Structures are given as structure tokens and as C-alpha cells.
Chain A
């Protein structure tokens, strides 16, 4: 480290984070200065511009790969992938939130600011290569989502969701921090590459195993992997739907990025069996739990646990196949899940009263377009060909097969069959059952329409032409190997 003072290029390497923070602060200031009527619209516009600017900044960043701030931050094709993903999800969630905040009568200002601040943390997680910085980024992202989960202030479930998430979440972060401390004790460093070199040198002590396990508990909680998943259904049920769309995809993607770095770059010991068990548990418990749900938000919460399980299978595979498979999965899961929750948030209506399976009965009659859109997302979640969900599963399963994890793959295939059943229940309700009470469904606003169109196109694009995204991800993995 010859230069004590950060260079200009260092700042470029955290440009998306800077952009998001600046826009977040601007949204708060703007909110304070506006009158009641304009407050609903302008902050959202500004936040949207901020998210899009962050996408642009991440793409711009790709010309300046390298590390910054004394090796704390690493900009490579991997980090750019996740930056773009997080910023894009943020933008889509903001688009969905316009209409939602208006129907729920939630004050807009801090909401958008918090989403942007959360995105700062998530972006930073994917480029941080130093465990303390990762911890800070994790906290930034988590604290924003704790607050966002409780944003339906008038609903008791929302407050419950927020408190539950906060208490359990802080507990989990403490685990992570404990793990960081132990690995520092074992290796004398908090830099992932140094730790990796240390672990590869062959002196793997009991301390290192414990450290990895503890870090895994903390991260496993954040991605809602079993057995650390108990919070998920309650939190997802209570939190505002657009927020669920956000926190079931963006922070998860970021945490998966961190896990990929720790598991593969640091060559974490004992990885395969740890992940085998957690992936198997997540798939099975998630799918079995989802079978008996009558609330669509809870159902999707359990489904997200199951999907975390499928995704984790990639972590047990070889880096060359596992990393691209996991990256592809996060992208396609983000597209389909954000889309599905966008529909759920639209249909929820005032106070999110209409979220049970019965409320979806006869939907194909009242709003055929919305029903058809949700159908595509659900088919993708099932894993039907020509949707992103199919190739996501395909790559993960074949990566696991190549690592000879036949048992895990069989379990995954069986779970997919079980999964088909409960997604089918939503389809059956929408198309084959009649509504008991005719509730006129509200018109789709421009923002929501745009959000649905983008996620729909992304879901189908990834299913019809998965090549480009996969090649990008494979190149990333190849870069790492060097």
C-alpha cells in the first residue's frame, strides 16, 4: 500500500454507492421541502433517476477494474454483475411502489430514501473483499430493510414483521461478526484473499471451521436458508409487498455474492457438506411449508426458502460451473420474483387485505392481462422451459451433477415436482375458480405496468436466449480462476 491518500480512481470504484447515497440524501431533503400534494410523486421520480444512474455508474465502472481503498473494495466483472442487478431491482421496486404508496396512504419520502440506502449496502456487499467492510455493508442493507418492513404503520402485522426481522436479524449478524473475529484469530487477517491463501496453505484449524460455520449461519439467515428460515413467512406476510419484492431479491443477491466470495475465493473448509445439508433442508422445508399456505404472500415466502435451497446447490459444485450457475439463478430469480410480488402488491388493494388464495379466484375474468402475467412468473418459478426459471434450475442441477452430487440433484428434482403443485394452486384459483365477491380490480398504473413489462421481458429473455448472461457469468468465473 504505497499510496496513503485515496486516488480519484478509488472513488470511481465506489461510484454506484456514491450515486445512490447522494440521491438518497437528496430525496430526504426534497421531501422535507415539499408540500403535501407533491410529496407523493417527486421523491419517487428522483429515487428512480438515482437507481438508473446507479446502473449507469456500474456500467461505467466496468472500464476501471481493480481494487480500491487499500484492497477493501474489488471492482471486477463479478461485482459489476451484482451492482447492475441490485440497482435494476431497486429501480423496478421504485416503479412498483408509486401506486402502492398511494393506495396504502404511506408517506413517500423516507421510504424511497431507505430503499436507496439499502441499495448502497447491497451494492457494497458485492464489491467488498474485506470482512469488516462486508459486515458494515450488511448492516447498512439490513437496517434499511428492518425499517422498510414496518412501513405499513397502521397494520399490526407490519410492526410485528419489523420487530421480528430486527431482533432475529441482529442476532444473525452477531453470528457473522463472531465468525469474522474467529477467522481473524486463525489467519491474522480480514482480507478474503489473504484468508484464502492462508486456508489453502493447509493449516486448517478447528478455529477456521468454526469461523466458517458461524459466518454461514449469519449469511444463511439473510438468504432465508433452512434451518435459519423461521422468520421468513411472518416477515414477508407483514411487510409491504414492494418491500418484500425488494428484500427477497436484492439483499439476497448481495448476500449470495458475499457467500460466493467467501466460499470460493477463500476456499472455505468443509463447504460441500455444510451446503449439502442446508440446501437439502431449505428445498424440502420450503416446499413442504408452501404446500399448506392459503396466503399468497406466505406461499411465496416459503417458495423463496425453497429457491434459496436450489441456489445453494450451486455452491456445493465446482467453482467453474457453480459460480455462473449461481449468478444466473440470482438474476432470473430476481426477475420472476419481483414480477410476482409486483402483481401481489397491486392486487392487495388498500390495507393489503386481498392476499389470500381465495381473493385470487376468478382473477382471469376480472383482469386477464394481470392473470396471464402472473401465470408466466409462476411458470418460471415452477421451472417450465422458455422461462428464466427453467435454465436457472437447469444450470444449477447440471453443475451439481458434474460435481457428482447425484443425491442432491434427485432431491432437487423431486422438490421441483412438489413445488409445481403449490404454484399450480394459484393458477387454479385464478383460472378455474369463480370469485365469490366481484371486486373491481383497480387499473394498472404506468409505473406498475412498466415494472411488469420489464420483469416479464427479462424472465422470457433469460428463458429464450440465456446465452449472453451465462457467458458473462462464465467469463467472471474464469477471471477468478486466474
Chain B
């Protein structure tokens, strides 16, 4: 049985607006999964159901042994950490260190353990140098890393990142990739929403595609980005490299830069 199970779950906002319509998702412990799809497809609502910020209005969500309907959001969020799409919805302390310490301090840990987790989070996100800074003096893209550090410091089993790539530059994207890799090596279960298809191909083993409130596909980046039915449904395009390879008539469902270089080189130089 999968570690995370979303079973026949729907979510309707008070007032009746249906944001997620009867979805099923299974995620194993230690998996690194991306969720893609258009604005309004239901991605954020889905992940908010995982840490009980929202509870399904139909169906259920299980994290290990825990059914979110039987637990408070505070209990679930000890296991599932969620980094908000908009950092300003999350930040409420006047210093970076205050923000990052807040979560672990609620967990009843020893001071020594709190310091260890906080230092680790600041280090891997590159935020240590901004320790005493007011988060609002930092650019939005950097503020996002403050909120990521705040969740990593809680050392939850599952971590969810909602559009961390938005507004990031080259270095920001590289750092995000590195953070995912490091957390993965520590056995964390990671779920990331992103609109950056290149980033998705580079950093994830599995991609879940949502469209119009439903899950329309799940598979490896190669399965997804060469499935034109799915791409059409979700109004997504292939990554640039795949699009070019297709235009050039190259076989092999190519996805990565190095594969494309090799295939083109063979055609040109034999």
C-alpha cells in the first residue's frame, strides 16, 4: 500500500466551487514527484489536502497510517510540510531566523536539536547569510527560499513545494535542484508543483499531470512529454529540446540535451 493515498477525493470550496473532482493519487515513501498543469487545474488544492490545510469534501487522504479527517492540521503538518506558492502568505516573523525557528519550536524538541535542524535548513537553502535580515528586505525570489528553509527545518517526512521555480533565475533553479537532490538522499518524500517543463525533466522521476480538476496522467517525464493526448488535454507543450527533435524527425522520444546532441551528431557525422 502506498505511503500517500488520495482516494476518490474531491474538494469544493464553501459556496460550492469545485476545485478538485474525484482524483486518485498514490505516492510511495521517498518518491520525488512533480505536479504540472494549467492555472486553475487543481494542483494547489490537491497538495493542500495532503497537509490538511484543506480536507476533501468527498473521499479521503491517507498519509501512512493517518487519515487526515481524523487529525488536526497541526498534527498532519508535523508529517507533511507545505511551502506556500506566495511566500508572503507564509512569512510572519521580522527576521529570517525567527521565521525558520518557528516551526521546529512547536515540535517540542530540545534546544540543541532545534538549532541543528535550523542550521541545516539555512545552510542547504543558502539563507544562512540572511539570518538576521527582515525577510521583506529580500527580493521575492529569495523570500521563497526563506519559506523553503522554514519547512526543511521542521524535518517533516513529506515536503511540498508549490511553484518554487516562479521568478527564479539560473542560480535559483540550480539551488532548487540541489535542495531536492539533498532531501531525496535523506529519504524525504517530495512533491513539487512547477510550470517549468525543463526543470521538471531535469529533477523528477515521476510527473503527475492535472487538467480541469482531474488527474489525467502519471508517468516518467519521457512517458508524459511524448504523450500528445495528455499534453493537449493539459494545454502543455513538450520541452524545447523534444520539440526540436520532433521537428527534425529524430526518433527515440528524446528529452534531454545530451541525448539530442548525440542523435544529431550521428546524423551529421555518422
**A and B found bound together:** no
Interface residues of A (CB under 8 A from B): none
